[in-house]
């Protein structure tokens, strides 16, 4: 299945988490390899939306908050592509799909 076009990608997930250097589980260095920086979070959001429009969502697990999905594919950046896994939840309370995180695809 494909995730719907109206998924929610909270801006703060990009601007205060993924694109900011972290002491633990830092994703900013990985994303910088493709040209994603704190100065262009809109480009990262567009790339994530493109990735989910081109790749299938696979159900991962279910908990009290909803159904978790994984979408794996190439994230097209400013200066290259990255193989990533994006994680999503289809919330039980609001019936919406929300972006949780992304990580390098190590498979």
Does some domain include residue 5? no
Q: pLDDT per position in the chain (107 positions), as tens?
A: 999 999 999 999 999 999 999 998 899 999 999 999 999 999 999 999 999 999 999 999 999 999 999 999 999 999 999 999 999 999 999 999 999 999 999 98
Residue 31 belongs to some domain of the structure: yes
Is 63 a domain residue?
Answer: yes
Range of the domain at 96: 11-104
Q: Is residue 73 assigned to a domain?
A: yes
Cut 0.85: pTM above it: yes
Q: Are 78 and 35 in contact (CB under 8 A)?
A: yes
How buried is 90 (Cβ within 10 angstroms: 0-12 exposed, 13-18 middle, 19+ buried)? buried
Whether 79 is in a domain gets the answer: yes
Cα 17 from Cα 35, distance rounded (Å):
16
The number of distinct structural domains making up the chain is 1
Query: Residue 92 domain-assigned?
Result: yes
């Amino acid at each position: 299945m494909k995730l719907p076009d109206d998924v929610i990608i909270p801006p703060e997930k990009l601007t205060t988490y993924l694109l900011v250097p972290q002491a633990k589980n830092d994703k900013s260095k990985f994303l910088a390899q493709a040209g994603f920086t704190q100065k262009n979070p809109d480009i990262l959001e567009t790339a994530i939306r493109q990735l989910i429009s081109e790749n299938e969502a696979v159900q991962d697990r279910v908990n009290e908050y909803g159904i978790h999905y994984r979408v794996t594919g190439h994230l097209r950046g400013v200066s290259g592509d990255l193989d990533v896994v994006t994680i999503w939840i289809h919330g039980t309370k609001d019936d919406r799909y929300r972006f949780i995180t992304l990580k390098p695809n190590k498979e």
